Structure 1
Amino acid sequence: MAVPAAQPISCLSPEQALLALGSSPAGLGSLEANLRLAHFGPNCLPPQRHRPLILRLGDQLTHFMALLLWAAGAMAIVAGTPSLGWAIWGVVLINGLFSFWQDFQAERTLAALTAVLPQHVRVWRQGLMTQLPSDALVPGDLLELEAGDQVPADCRVIEASALSLNASLLTGEALPLARGSAALAQQRNPSEAANLLPAGTCVAAGRCQALVYATGAETEFAQVAHLSAGIERSPSTLEVQVGRIVRTVTGIALSLGAIAFLAGITLVGVPPLESLVFSIGIIVANVPEGLLPTVTLVLALAVKRMARERALVRRLSAVETLGCVSVICTDKTGTLTANAMTLQDTWGSDRPLLLLMASLCCNASLNVGDPTETALLQGAQRNGIDPDQERQRLPRLQELPFDSARRLMSVLLHWQNDRRWPLPCTWMQCSKGAPVELLERCSHWWHAGVMTPLTAPERDLVHAANNVMARQGYRVLAIACRPCDQPQIEEQQLVLMGLVGLYDPPRPGVHQAITACHKAGIKVTMVTGDYGLTAEAIARQIGLLDTPAHAQHDPVRVINGSDLARLSDAQLRQLLKFRSRLVFARMAPEQKLRLVKSYKALGEVVAVTGDGVNDAPALRAADVGIAMGRSGTDVAREAADIVLVDDNFATIISAVRHGRGVYQNIRRFLLYILASNVAEVAPFFTMLVLRIPAALTVLQILAVDLGTDLLPALGLGAEPPETTVMEGLPRRRDQPLLDRQLLEQAYLFFGLLEGILAMLGYGLTWWSHGLGLAQLQLVAPDLLHHRATAALLMIQHQASAVALGSIVCAQVGTALACRGRSRRRPHLFLLIGISLELVAFCALQGWPVLAQTFQMAPIPSQLWWWLLLCIPAPLLADQIRIAWRSYRHGPSQRSLA
């Protein structure tokens, strides 16, 4: 919306701005707000333009592996086997459609999940402050904003108290900019105007009342978003590794295909076109067509499962990175604790006056606002004090907001000689803050109704009372005042009124989550702004500082921000390297960032939690930034990779568990499909070496790829994380998906076993008809050059069916062996995949139309026993292999599966 005034809104006074937008100090009426919402529309950005669907489908059909298969299909057509060419192209199309659908579904899921956390703002409507979703804002609305809030629309400052703005989203400059309500002499750019708050910027300090003058697509932020919408993210580590796997496996396929082509011509005397068909079979057999759709499915399922467990993934790459997290730097309040602060104790000689001044030095209401302040207000109310009534009786004139450097907040009140303060005064300053910092600014204390000088013994008494409360896990605040002759805030020569102890209990399940982290080899470090003794007490209550029996000599280490400032970078890295249970208290935001960088310099994979605007640098610097969904600021959520909808630390452990499960599932899927590829290649090389007919045709290989590779492989990708996934140490950041161990198991164990079973089944079928190896070599030329009799063709088709069935049944056993030893029963998706695989094979060899197309014949009943033996063979062989490895290397040497 454009401002309905001839003069720019920045050049109008606050009163003129309200008048120009048809608003008032009480805000808009409900009817007027609804009319404006219908006219201007919701306060949200226009939908981003995505890459057209047809082009995104084209991406799935033109990647490196797909291009190889397109070329293989074309070569098959040139070689005179158009049906084979069309079949190969059909595989490319089916895989492309599946990957496209999964990508589309994942995008829709993320879009829907993002809507779970709408931004809420405090708005004045008809004289009452209420919370509304930001998309319900209209021009003319009057907002209340404070430090940490993201500005939801373009606003004009009406009232301000020590206000500064972080406009780096628009200007690129991180330094806070002072903002006020005074009118400007001339129009300026919105990001430079000292009385405007552009949408998307963040309140860095102070508080204000602001008037909305532009919403939705008319905001400055919308223009920035429009420019950045087309920028693509760089590929994640997982995408890079999958691309490397595709190139490696494709290189192997092309090399083997070329070898088969040359060997067929020179060694066997196969005509060039026939040899080309066989080489195509080798290439198709080695290309893992199901790799990309299965990886997409694995990530999509992980995102959905994490969402059900209250973790919203904003960047898919974070799912894979979670699997190797080795350090979690977590804040305390609201993450490890329930964020349900209550007043538990007070220390001072006048409890009512102490609670009165504490409640007057708050910006919250009884049910809305900072949990610490609402706890103070509710505690005052339980003690007979009405905060709303007192605010009307003793109105506020000035405020000096809390900041992390002073650790104090002060307000100036029009006291009007209230009799509860026995000494006459017109103005009263009330201050609250950290006891140590506030005590340094106090010259007197209130004792037995008298202002008494604070000497060393009294200061020691205050410190002792503070420590007693802190050791119980209480968050302790000091309350002080200063009767004033002049209406001016000065945080010196204060009168200490006493201490209040607030308790935020640990969240249910956090102790178990901390224990799970320790078992998983993940270091948990508490980083908080609270007092050291308070942080230590909470850390002990949740088991963070439990010391193992074998490490009793390693004392608990609680490090304050002042101590950290004296450590060099080298000393800090040494501390982090050799200490695993640490609490950092009284930490400034820049120190939290330094801590993250030091951990990363040691090679750790760091996850960081945060909720405030000051946490954004650490969230961005971390490998995985985790923001709070309920209590977190919008800036923190925007900087994070994952948002915890429930603000619960235990949810982080669940997310790490799914990250590790994703990595395991992709590894097992790779093991499974590479093993079948070896079995598919075996018939062609056996043909070249033994000079016998090929046990499988290229069409039959495609049937294996679509039936045995794809369906159970998808089932393996859908398996939930196994129960032991959190028992091992975190994997290294650079640990590849396709390593030597996996290749050996795939090619030299499971693949070799499946290939042997397939060729034994093929030979067993010929032997059952009275033909041994010598006779099979004699009839091979007739079968190869299509001169064989109908009887020989029938035996060949039966033998091919048995060879294919041997691979199918062995793949069932391999899939079960790939699941891991800790699983009790197969996942439903895997059972469905195996069932469909077996049904498909029975249809291929038993349904006349399909049997004729794929050149197979019904398997004689006396040979089914062989196929049944092929199912448990990989499982039994794997158990023997594991037992042998345990015998030679000890039980610590575990299989991939």
Structure 2
Amino acid sequence: MQLSAAAPISSLTCEQALATLQSSPQGLRSEEAHNRLQRVGPNRLPPQRRRPLILRLTDQFTHFMALLLWAAGGMAFLARTPELGWAIWSVVLINALFSFWQDFQAERTLAALTNVLPRQVRGWRDGRLQVLSAEELVPGDLIELEAGDQVPADCRVIEAAALYLNAAVLTGESLPVVRTAQPQPQRLRTSEATNLMPAGTTVAAGRAQALVYATGGDTEFGQVAHLSAGTERAPSTLEVQVGRIVRTVTAIAVSMGAFAFLAGVLLVGVGPVESLVFAIGIIVANVPEGLLPTVTLALALAVQRMARERALVRRLSAVETLGCVSVICTDKTGTLTANAMALQTTWSSDEPLLLLAAGLCCNASKQVGDPTETALLQGAQRAGLDLEQERQRLPRQRELPFDSERRMMSVLVQWHNDPRWPQASAWMVCSKGAPMELLQRCSHWLRAGVITPLGPAERQLVSSANDVMARQGHRVLAIACRPCDQPQLEEQDLVLVGLVGLYDPPRPGVSQAIAACHRAGIKVTMVTGDYGLTAEAIARQIGLLDAPAHAGPDPVRVVNGSDLNRLSDAQLRQLLKFRSRLVFARMAPEQKLRLVQAYRALGEVVAVTGDGVNDAPALRAADVGIAMGRSGTDVAREAADIVLVDDNFATIVSAVRHGRGVYDNIRRFILYILASNVAEVAPFLTMLALRIPAALTVLQILAVDLGTDLLPALGLGADPPRTDVMNQPPRHRDQPLLDRPLLRQAYLFLGLLEGVLAMLGYGLTWWSHGISLPQLRNIAPALLHHQASAELVALQHQASAVALGSIVFVQAGTALACRGGNRLKPNALLWLGIATELIAFVVLQGWPPLARTFQMAPIPSQLWWWLLLCIPAPLLAVQLRTTWRAHHHGSSSVMA
């Protein structure tokens, strides 16, 4: 569809705009929409420009850890050991390719997840209001927009009801601007014309019916977007911590390498070249080559698992932050409840008139729209009212949309002296809203067909009826009317018609999820705009509040918005600090934001759920913003870190479990890899301390790091969350990944155990051939300077094979020990990694070409028992240590 350049759509009347785009007030026919879609293409922007793949690949060769290995390889060439240099550089190459592949796969995973929840709009097709995919929109489509909706394409306003637009995405102006359906004579930009709604902007307030006239790259937003370059994102907390670990371990590696070089030259009498080779070996042994790809893998797997459980992660950093969440501020409707609102009861002397007025004051259809309004329409239909016919006979003229301050909505309809109202009237205002707020605007009520004044006693009767329905967990709405002779929409001097009670039952599984949060040390706070008694009833039904100790509301646990306004910030913090299981009712959006800020001021890590445009500030202020995928507005989803596809509170608990699991997995991997690094360094330190030959060569260390270490480490990163991960309190947000307990466990316990077993295996081999420690010291210089006999060289190769085998076999047990409570849970990747490392070792020492390359000899059968004993050694040591610590200190370790 092309518009005439001489006649911009903003200058046309609504009728002319519809005619120009060959559309109608009933929208397009499906067949015509399909044909237009084939011509203009889907309504989406061109793909965002990303950093070229080749540059992202080169990044993997130039980060801090890679540069260290490049330098180590270069030093190996200077030491005239080119085979060692090529081996080290091959580690850089393989690690870079693997890291790049994991990063690429993680990005593809996130990109694929964005397609799981396509944006949807309400549009007219074939004369019916339907839910359409935003990508299917074409010029000529007629769509309905409400507060919180993102405008999906460039649109011309056809109808507007108190319509305000937030165009900050294009103009930078944060204040909402008014939009009307009136034609504009002058030619203006899309973002400036008061009857146009550019794609990418959001409806700040009110409601609109709009005509699509440009889609995809033809929109003003699309033309701006393809000119803008992507911005660099700030590193997440996890990335900062991993970077700190890399720098810490690198400093340890370089320091130990420098010490080994100086000690070799000054204390052992080894030549500079040989000492340099040993120093390179220590540096390489201490570098955790698999750290970066394993972290990426752990995050990517967590994102995929969360997606399978209906939680879409929009920012990877949120996965790690979830593990720290200590407070969840959750909505009630649709999150804790099933979002299956149904009309349950009414309180009125004229139920047909009550349901008629309620139905006229709705924007939904019976299938599409707000769940509350849909429930009202379905209830009216069950009562025998044909609302489609009623809307045609009593057409709407004006509307005052619902907002969070008035807590009500009103429409002006042409009444035509309908006899169902006691008095003849040309026009009628129909209002629905929160009972107490709407009651304040009522001066009369309708009882037994008679309009009578509302005195204090009558108001108390209405309030009591409201409380009775609310205590049953019903969401109560009041319905009122105001006859008038002039088409004036005023919300004063209303006549109360009655109350309707809508019930949205708790979601299945929510009670168990609430209980799981309490066991996990997570406070759950309900924050809702509903009436206090309604919120309290639902909270008790799901176990968020305890059973009532007395009749009436619990003022300690249920706080209304008006009560919150009377609390100072210090008083609010005191309430939140010493009270848990709270319900905040009748909350305004700014109060929800204040609540989040107060929790954060207390040091809590806060997750907030939201679905409306007014929830966006609280979602942004929270540590983890969680938007609703089904009922949520586009604004809420854009402000959130995580989107719940099923709008289910239980999904949040599952997401927290995976967040905790990711953190645990990364710590397990770090523990495993640092422990094995100690075993790889032990032969060089033992050589310096005891003046014996080095039990391992640098090539053998590389074989451990790359050939046997990597897959089990990746398997630990892929571990599912522990079964007891939700039975512990949340960790502090500042708790580092690499802390002193983990370093002690890695270097002074598991690493020391691996190193001792490796050196015992090395010494046991020499002892089995009748060579004692003093004799081994005597032959060390000959082996070191390549002057030993062939028999001694063969024994050294065999002893090296046993030392290397001890490390490989004890690593298998260490990997299982690091799993802790997950030890018996299935993990195919881990078991594959353990099997692969054991098979790889058997091949390395048993296949002559590889055995010669890695300077190993076949292991005699009588020494295989030693290797097999190495597997359970870490498991037994951890069990004994845990038992001893539990008996003496009552504390647990990272592997508990």
Q: What TM bracket, shorter-length normalisation?
A: over 0.9
- The one-letter amino acid paired with 2:268 is V
Q: How far apart in 1 are the matches of 2:190 and 2:593? A: 31
Distance across 2 between alignment mates of 1:859 and 1:707: 19
Query: In structure 1, what is the Cα distance between the partners aligned to 2:469 and 2:555?
Result: 23
Secondary structure of 2:659's match? helix
Aligned to 2:68: 68
| Bigger mean CA offset, 225-234 vs 356-365 | 225-234
1:587-640 per-residue CA deviation (whole Å, 9 max, x = no partner) reads 111111111111111111000000111111111111000000111111111110
Provide the rounded CA distance (Å) in 1 between the counterparts of 2:841 and 2:548.
55
What is the DSSP-based 3-state SS (H/G/I as helix, E as strand, rest coil) of the residue aligned with 1:193? Answer: coil
1:229 positional shift: 4.4
What is the match of residue 364 of structure 2? Answer: 364
Change (3 A) 1:786 1:575: same
In the alignment, what sits opposite 1:865?
Answer: 865
SS at match of 2:158: strand
CA shift, 1:25, in A, is 2.3
Indicate how the Cα distance of structure 1 residues 627 and 284 shifts in structure 2: closer, same or farther if over 3 A, else same: same
Note the C-alpha offset of 1:895: 4.8
**Identity rate, percent:** 79
- Give, in whole Å, the separation in 2 of the partners of 1:826 and 1:876: 21
CA distance in 1, matches of 2:741, 2:893: 11
Which position in structure 2 is the counterpart of 1:699? 699
Letter in 1 for 2:721: P
Q: Partners in 2 of 1:661 and 1:228 — Cα distance?
A: 38
Tell me the CA shift for residue 188 of structure 1.
2.5
Residue identity opposite 1:711 in structure 2 = L
2:600 match = 600
Indicate the residue corresponding to 2:781 in structure 1: 781
CA distance in 1, matches of 2:559, 2:372: 24
Q: Confirm or deny: 8 A CA contact 2:675 2:747 kept in the other structure.
A: yes
> Amino acid of the residue matched to residue 130 of structure 2?
T
* Matched residue SS, 1:821: helix
- Indicate the residue corresponding to 1:309 in structure 2: 309
One-letter code aligned to 1:630: R
Q: Distance in 1 between matches of 2:223 and 2:855?
A: 62
Residue deviations 1:793-822, cap 9 Å, x none?
110000000000111111111111111135
Q: Distance between the aligned counterparts of 2:824 and 2:79, measured in 1?
A: 49
2:723–2:821 Cα contact (<8 Å) kept: no
Name the counterpart of 1:574.
574
Aligned to 1:335: 335
Q: CA deviation at 1:149?
A: 1.4
Q: Bigger shift: 75-84 or 20-29?
A: 20-29
- 1:537-576 equivalences in 2 (<5 Å): 537-546=537-546, 556-576=556-576
Q: What's the TM-score, normalizing by structure 2?
A: 0.98
The answer to whether the 8 Å contact 1:816/1:826 transfers is no
**C-alpha distance in structure 2 between counterparts of 1:489 and 1:825, whole Å:** 66
How many equivalent pairs are there? 893
**Correspondences of 1:102-501 after superposition (within 5 Å):** 102-501=102-501
CA contact (8 A) 2:742 2:894 kept: no
Give SS of 2:209's match. strand
CA distance in structure 1 between the aligned counterparts of 2:807 and 2:628, rounded to whole angstroms: 50
Residue type at the aligned position of 1:278: F
Distance in 2 (alpha carbons) for counterparts of 1:713 and 1:217: 45
Contact 2:129 2:368 in 1 (8 A): no
Q: Which position in structure 2 is the counterpart of 1:816?
A: 816
Deviation at 1:33, TM superposition (A): 2.2
**In structure 1, how many angstroms separate the alpha carbons of the residues matched to 2:399 and 2:717?**
57
User: What amino acid is the match of 2:254?
Assistant: L
Deviation for aligned residue 1:152 = 0.2
Is residue 2:880 matched to residue 1:884? no
In the alignment, residue 107 of structure 2 is paired with which amino acid?
E
Match of 1:828 in 2: 828
Aligned-pair CA distance for 1:223: 3.9
Shift of 1:224: 4.4
Deviation of 1:689 (Å): 1.3
* Counterparts of 2:555 and 2:17, CA distance in 1: 61
Offset of residue 418 of structure 1: 1.4
Give the C-alpha shift of residue 4 in structure 1.
2.7
1:608-623 superposed matches below 5 A: 608-623=608-623
* Structure 1: distance between partners of 2:759 and 2:5: 86
Q: CA deviation at 1:78?
A: 1.8
Q: State the one-letter code of the partner of 2:653.
A: I
Q: Which residue of 1 aligns with 2:82?
A: 82
Structure-2 change in CA distance of 1:539 and 1:452 (3 Å): same
> Is the alpha carbon distance of 1:639 and 1:441 closer, same or farther for their aligned partners in structure 2, counting shifts above 3 Å?
same
Using the alignment, how far apart are the partners of 2:3 and 2:643 within structure 1? Answer: 36
In 2, Cα distance between the equivalents of 1:825 and 1:659?
Answer: 18
3-state SS of paired residue (1:581): coil
What value does the CA root-mean-square deviation take over the aligned residues? Answer: 1.5
Q: Deviations over 1:796-853 (max 9, x none)?
A: 0000000001111111111111111354345221111111010001011111111111
Q: SS where residue 431 of structure 2 aligns?
A: strand
Contact preservation (8 Å) 2:323, 2:660: yes
Deviation at 1:37, TM superposition (A): 1.4
State whether residues 882 and 895 of structure 1, in contact with CA within 8 Å, keep that contact through their aligned partners in structure 2. no
2:585 corresponds to: 585
Deviation at 1:875, TM superposition (A): 1.2
Q: Per-residue CA shift, 1:172-196, capped at 9, x if unaligned?
A: 3332211101122322332222111
**3-state SS, counterpart of residue 726 of structure 1:** helix
Partner SS state of residue 727, structure 2: coil
Q: What SS does the aligned partner of 1:546 have?
A: coil
Which secondary structure state, in structure 2, belongs to the residue aligned with residue 26 of structure 1?
coil
Q: Which moved more, 1:242-251 or 1:175-184?
A: 175-184
Cα distance, 1:894 vs structure 2 = 4.2
Contact 1:813 1:871 (8 Å CA) reproduced: yes
Q: Secondary structure at the match of 1:526?
A: strand
- Would you say 1:667 and 2:661 are equivalent positions? no
Distance 1:511 1:844, change over 3 A: same
The AA in structure 1 aligned to 2:166 is: N
| CA distance in structure 1 between the partners assigned to 2:395 and 2:320 by the alignment | 54
The aligned amino acid for 1:534 is T
Query: Which residue of the partner structure matches residue 686 of structure 1?
Result: 686
Does the aligned pair in 2 maintain the 1:253–1:286 contact within 8 Å? yes
Change (3 A) 1:391 1:567: same
Aligned partner of 2:201: which letter? T
Q: What SS does the aligned partner of 2:7 have?
A: coil
Q: Which amino acid aligns with 1:366?
A: K
The residue type paired with residue 745 of structure 1 is Q
TM-score (norm: length of structure 1): 0.98
Q: Is the 8 A contact 1:160 1:209 kept in 2?
A: yes
Q: Secondary structure of the residue that 1:443 maps to in structure 2?
A: strand
Could you tell me how far apart the structure 1 residues matched to 2:447 and 2:437 are? Answer: 20
In the aligned structure 2, how far is the partner of 1:76 from the partner of 1:141?
Answer: 69
SS in 1 for 2:836: helix
- The CA distance in 2 between the partners of 1:653 and 1:157, in whole Å, is 42
* AA aligned opposite 1:346: T
Partner Cα separation in structure 1 for residue 293 and residue 208 of structure 2:
51
SS in 1 for 2:244: helix
Query: Which shifted more, 491-500 or 820-829?
Result: 820-829
**Counterpart-to-counterpart distance in 1, 2:70 and 2:893:** 40
The Cα shift of 1:128 comes to: 2.8
Contact residue 708 and residue 840 of structure 2 kept, 8 A: no
CA distance in 1, matches of 2:578, 2:749: 41
Which residue is equivalent to 2:803? 803
Q: Indicate if the aligned counterparts of 1:742 and 1:896 stay in contact, CA closer than 8 A.
A: no
Tell me: CA distance 1:224–1:548, structure 2 relative to 1, closer, same or farther (3 Å): farther
Q: CA deviation at 1:548?
A: 12
Aligned residue identity for 1:50: R
> Which residue type is aligned with residue 381 of structure 1?
Q
Residue by residue over 1:534-555, the C-alpha shift from the partner in whole angstroms, topping out at 9 and shown as x without a partner, is: 0111111110012799xxxx97
Is the CA contact 1:72–1:85 (under 8 Å) kept in the aligned structure 2? yes
